[in-house]
Amino acid sequence: MLTTTNPLSGTSASTLCRCPLCSTVLSFRPHPPPYDAACQECGYPLWCFSRTVGDLIVLEVVSGTMPTHKEVHRLCDTLLASGSVPRVVVDLSDVEFVSSSFVARLVALNKRIQAADARLVLCGLRPVVREALHTSRLDEFFDIAEDEATALTSLCSLRRAEELSQVLDRESALIWRRPAIDPALD
């Protein structure tokens, strides 16, 4: 397996294209329509492909593809079934325009991820995509980063902040714990 080291975190980053559903290594990089492709292992339509950076998941959307509601639902089920809370970057840098249906699919994906206390960050938005989200005020609903590196840094920083918060909560619980009062002493 070909991996590189992410300079931001020092973690390994997979450079292989994988099916986002079954994680099968793809023997090709999915191309935009009319060359629609499906995973050779599970048959999932490849509207995006995945790769990992440490424990982060990067979904790269293939330009010109439109997932169905069912395909987004299956992807969410897979992401959330892993047992760990996924942190997902959706890279839209190849997407030249978005339809309202595609935006609705992104909203559904984000809602499901957030409902599981996970986090999704969009990155690589071209001006027309950014404007579409701004016009519909969805830029306030999504976490948006300029590029993949910024999105990864944001998710890594959030993870460290959450871990620190948990440690501080445990420590403050110990510090502020009331001593038990022995009724025999009264």
Q: What's the pLDDT tens digit per position in 72-95?
A: 999 999 988 877 778 999 999 999
Is 183 part of any domain? no
Q: What's the pLDDT tens digit per position in 8-21?
A: 444 444 568 899 99
CATH number of the CATH domain containing 17: 3.30.750.24
Is 181 part of any domain? no
Is 184 part of any domain? no
Is 162 part of any domain? yes
The number of distinct structural domains making up the chain is 1
Measured at the CA of 47, the angle between CA 42 and CA 51, to 5 degrees, comes to: 75
Spans in the chain with pLDDT lower than 70? 1-15, 32-35, 158-186
Cβ burial of 122 (10 Å; 0-12, 13-18, 19+) is buried
Residue 100 sits in which domain range? 3-176
- Is the pTM higher than 0.75? The answer reads yes
What is the C-alpha to C-alpha distance for residues 36 and 46, in angstroms, rounded to an integer?
7
Is 109 part of any domain? yes
